[in-house]
Structure 1
Amino acid sequence: MELKDLFLTPLYLGVFYAIAFAVRKQFTNAFTRKYFIPALSVKFLGAISLGLVYQFYYGGGDTFNYFRHIQILHSSLSESFSIWLRLLQAPVVPDGDMLRYTGQMYWYTASTEYFVVRLGSVFSLICFNTYSIISLCFAAFSFAGMWSMYITFLRIYPLAYKKFAIAVFFLPSVFFWGSGLMKDSLCLGALGWTFYGFYHVFIARKFVVTGALVGTLGIYVLVSVKIYILLSFAPPALLWVFNENNQRIKSAALRIALKPFFLLLGIGAGYIGATGITAGDERYDVEKIGERTKINQEYLTHFAVSGSAYDIGEFDGSTASLLKTAPQAVVVSIFRPFLFEVRNPVMLLSALEATLFIWLTVSLLYKTGLLKGLGIIASTPLILFSFLFATVFAIGVGINSGNFGTLVRYKIPLMPFYLAGLYMLQEKATQSRRKPRRRARSQLNNPRKVGRLATTE
């Protein structure tokens, strides 16, 4: 970061906050309004803090590599706007005018990394090519998607505004790693838009056009940056659609008869979609994903620093080894590192959150009872979706990472869904213990109290 970051950042923060206050009324209600600015603020805090940590603690890293590429791309504007436009396109064979720039960018042929560079270069046009302000733009992008995630949860449980705000916005790892000039910021925002679009198009069937547009944008970003998030999202989402529609069938006999058919249909659609999207992609082709995961795990474990490597057993890329390591992968992704495994400040942050997840999970299942808790999860489509997505994603990143240093970043998309799932399960269990006359006071669903104020759009 440079001296201009110090002078320009406060000015741009003022602009961002002015825009936020101007649009807040349009995207909030009486319950959620008080969280809009604080949620945006922690995203800005995370973006600036990430840059400071990478500069003064790590001494460099990916975020500054992205910025270096953005600077190179931006410098082409001094020669020709048309060259900048050609460089901004998806990586293509460069012509003579482009070579002087592409030769300096080792990520030019890396489509996922270069997508971040391209978007950052667009932001740089209005940011005086300044690192901290580009980071704030990424934070705002991420916030927009996560607010869509937040209001989607509230569409189903309108009065859980406080608990869902904690789950979506105020987990330290999520707003720290998911706010700056990194892939993770784009993926969090895109996941929120995908969740929003999927719910409105396939579940609520309201605001279908808006939901389709927003969801398509989210899917496009996920496919461009981290398609495995979309692959983890799709199967639980299809099951969610089935469960919601299955519950609407009045005949119990017909529901039971159709359940295997729709379940197989969902699994088949998920597999066809996954293989179709990833076919030919060296990194994510379903036929090669086990082999690639094994290579990544060995590489990251071998080069782990500060004693942050973990071992979940031998993984050779086969289905048998996947089933064997999956339970440990879930534990390591959601409940580790333990406090006694902490080796540096970054691990401490992750360990505190993991401890919170352990405490909430154990205390909730103890109070509710394991069988009753599993019954509530199985019978509540959104809770089942949230836990299934978190579990599927945890298996993928837990096996693929190999050390806590990378895992703390990789796992942040699952954290809002897992914690939101715990909060929903907690309230459902509380409802079941209340007398019928008191159930109308539930924090999560009280239509009489909410009325029109539940509207968040």
Structure 2
Amino acid sequence: MLFYLYVQKLFEKDKPLYSWFYTTLVIKVLSGLAVGALYLYYYKVGDITDTYNCVSRFAVLFYSDNHKFMQMYFHNEFMENNELLFQEMLTYSPRQLFFIKLIVPLGILIDNYWMINVYCSVFAFMGLWNLSNRIVSIFSISKTAVVISFLLFPSIVFWSSGMVKEAILLGCIGFSMSFYLKWVYEKRRPEMIELIIFIVALWLIWNLKYYVFAILFFLMITHFVHRMVVYSFPWLKEYRIHKIVVYYLVLANLGLSAGWINPNLSIDNLYQALHINYVDTITLSNNHNIFHLEHFEKSEWGMILDLPKAIIYG
């Protein structure tokens, strides 16, 4: 109910991008349906269809055996009573299983493949819509540029639509960044509902993709500390190089301490974690439609040498 009341405020007509609202919303919803159709009719297998199958099983179990549902949903007891349909979930990563459980309430309420895709798409849209309006309100920037960047850019619109982790992820990023910008630049005291959504959004980001949480969290902390330092020492405003040094010193120190978020982010384990993921991706691809990072395969320094190539190829 609290979230619903906040959404009512979100779409008031005084929003600077209000004229774009219906156009971008319809495009987002259609993208969600298109992604759903792509996985259902073309790929036939994949993340979205696998997620929905699991969600649907949970929904059926909720109505047929509530006790067993609770055991599986909250305690991951998928082997209970030889439930073969659920045993495959034992092989899922914690992030994948978390996302499935996140969608289960929607499955219980509607259990419709297309509608769940639409709901996930709309959530992503709401977060990015909120962030886009905040950016235009705070900074002197072209409305068209913001709309294209966050609401119309094809890769963002399409691949953050539907029943995918990226839809929830971008929605959460949009909400959390919008509130942060509001509190820092508009100097407005946080409302209770905003704090709740902000904390929940960061928690969801951390559980879905911890490395995205690390980047977002450290950037916010670095930006906040940088603003406080410049505010405390006004003379720094006259020397751009000093501000840059302060910014990157804070960011570097935070980056070196990233291991407390997840061991894979520590300096000692970062290369190994990336290399394992790289090898697994190559293996699953069966050497079809892939490119190799020759230096990265050999040493840690190769990660730096191959970085431009990795960025270009995406």
TM-score category, normalised to shorter length: 0.7 to 0.9
Task: Report deviation, 1:180.
Answer: 0.5
Do the aligned partners of residues 27 and 207 (structure 1) sit closer, same or farther apart at CA in structure 2, a change above 3 Å counting? farther
Question: Quick check: 1:327 aligned with 2:308?
Answer: yes
Equivalent of 1:194 in 176, 188, 208: 176
Q: How many angstroms apart in 1 are the aligned matches of 2:23 and 2:287? A: 34
Specify every segment of 5 or more residues in structure 2 that has no aligned partner in the other structure, as ranges.
none
- Output the TM-score relative to the length of structure 2: 0.83
Alignment of 1:213-362 (within 5 A): 213-248=196-231, 249-252=233-236, 263-272=248-257, 274-279=258-263, 287-304=268-285, 308-316=289-297, 318-333=299-314
Instruction: Tell me the residue number matched to 1:50.
Output: 35
| Contact preservation (8 Å) 1:294, 1:317 | no
| Contact preservation (8 Å) 2:230, 2:243 | no
Task: Report deviation, 1:41.
Answer: 1.2
Equivalent of 2:64 in 71, 79, 82: 79
Do the aligned partners of residues 269 and 295 (structure 1) sit closer, same or farther apart at CA in structure 2, a change above 3 Å counting? closer
Instruction: Tell me the residue number matched to 2:117.
Output: 135
State the Cα RMSD in Å: 3.2
Q: How many angstroms apart in 1 are the aligned matches of 2:139 and 2:238? A: 28
| Contact preservation (8 Å) 1:190, 1:221 | yes
More helix by share: 2
Instruction: Tell me the residue number matched to 1:148.
Output: 130
| Contact preservation (8 Å) 2:138, 2:185 | no
Do the aligned partners of residues 276 and 25 (structure 1) sit closer, same or farther apart at CA in structure 2, a change above 3 Å counting? closer
Task: Report deviation, 1:315.
Answer: 0.9
| Contact preservation (8 Å) 1:46, 1:175 | yes
* AA in 1 matched with 2:61: S
| Contact preservation (8 Å) 1:138, 1:186 | yes
Q: How many angstroms apart in 1 are the aligned matches of 2:86 and 2:26? A: 38
Structure ranking higher on relative contact order (CA contacts 8 Å, 6+ apart) = 1
| Contact preservation (8 Å) 2:226, 2:247 | no
Do the aligned partners of residues 48 and 262 (structure 1) sit closer, same or farther apart at CA in structure 2, a change above 3 Å counting? closer
| Contact preservation (8 Å) 2:183, 2:189 | yes
| Contact preservation (8 Å) 1:197, 1:215 | yes
Task: Report deviation, 1:134.
Answer: 1.0
* AA in 2 matched with 1:217: V
Equivalent of 2:97 in 114, 120, 129: 114
Do the aligned partners of residues 187 and 317 (structure 1) sit closer, same or farther apart at CA in structure 2, a change above 3 Å counting? farther
- Output the TM-score relative to the length of structure 1: 0.59
Q: How many angstroms apart in 2 are the aligned matches of 1:139 and 1:222? A: 16
Q: How many angstroms apart in 2 are the aligned matches of 1:143 and 1:93? A: 35
* AA in 2 matched with 1:81: N
Paired residue total: 306
Q: How many angstroms apart in 1 are the aligned matches of 2:247 and 2:10? A: 41
Do the aligned partners of residues 155 and 88 (structure 1) sit closer, same or farther apart at CA in structure 2, a change above 3 Å counting? farther
Partner-residue secondary structure (3-state), 1:308: coil
Do the aligned partners of residues 37 and 259 (structure 1) sit closer, same or farther apart at CA in structure 2, a change above 3 Å counting? closer
Alignment of 1:13-32 (within 5 A): 23=8, 26-29=11-14, 31-32=16-17
Percent same amino acid among aligned pairs? 14
Task: Report deviation, 1:251.
Answer: 2.0
| Contact preservation (8 Å) 2:71, 2:77 | no
Instruction: Tell me the residue number matched to 1:355.
Output: none
Q: How many angstroms apart in 2 are the aligned matches of 1:179 and 1:302? A: 27
Do the aligned partners of residues 253 and 228 (structure 1) sit closer, same or farther apart at CA in structure 2, a change above 3 Å counting? closer
Q: How many angstroms apart in 2 are the aligned matches of 1:95 and 1:304? A: 30
